[in-house]
């Protein structure tokens, strides 16, 4: 399912217009992105938690040449599904 299909499903379930549904989805995503960028964790009960993980700098290897390379430290967004969400798939 892509964002457009999600907007249609949201419109069907809530009675909102497709345009309003798309605006809601865009706002939801933007709020999460801005919160993570500000260093905040976003926890949605029954769904899961969005957070940022810090990866340390490390040494890697170029698979083509075998040469060692330095990989810089980085921050990456992550999502951890909540217990009730995970239990839906058992």
Residues 18 and 46 grouped into a single domain: no
> Are 85 and 50 within one domain?
yes
Sequential DSSP letters for 1-35: --HHHHHHHHHHHH---HHHHHHHHHHHHHHHHHH
* CB-count burial class (<10 Å; 0-12, 13-18, 19+) for 66: exposed
Q: What is the pLDDT, as a whole number, of residue 14?
A: 95
Say what the pLDDT of residue 90 is. Answer: 87
Range of the domain at 22: 1-40
Do 53 and 34 reside in the same domain of the chain? no
Q: What is the pLDDT of residues 10-65, one digit of tens each?
A: 999 999 999 999 999 999 999 999 999 999 999 999 999 999 999 999 999 999 99
What mean pLDDT is predicted for residues 70-87?
Answer: 95
Same domain (yes/no): 32, 53: no
User: Does residue 9 have a pLDDT over 90?
Assistant: yes
pTM of the complete model? 0.79
């Amino acid at each position: 399912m892509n964002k457009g299909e999600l907007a249609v499903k949201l419109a069907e379930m809530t009675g909102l217009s497709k345009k309003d549904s798309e605006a809601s989805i865009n706002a939801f995503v933007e709020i999460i992105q801005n919160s993570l960028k500000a260093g905040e964790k976003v926890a949605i009960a029954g769904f899961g938690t969005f957070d940022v993980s810090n990866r340390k700098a490390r040494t890697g290897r170029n698979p083509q040449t075998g040469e060692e390379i330095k990989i810089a430290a980085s921050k990456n967004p992550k999502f951890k599904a909540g217990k009730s969400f995970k239990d839906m798939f058992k």
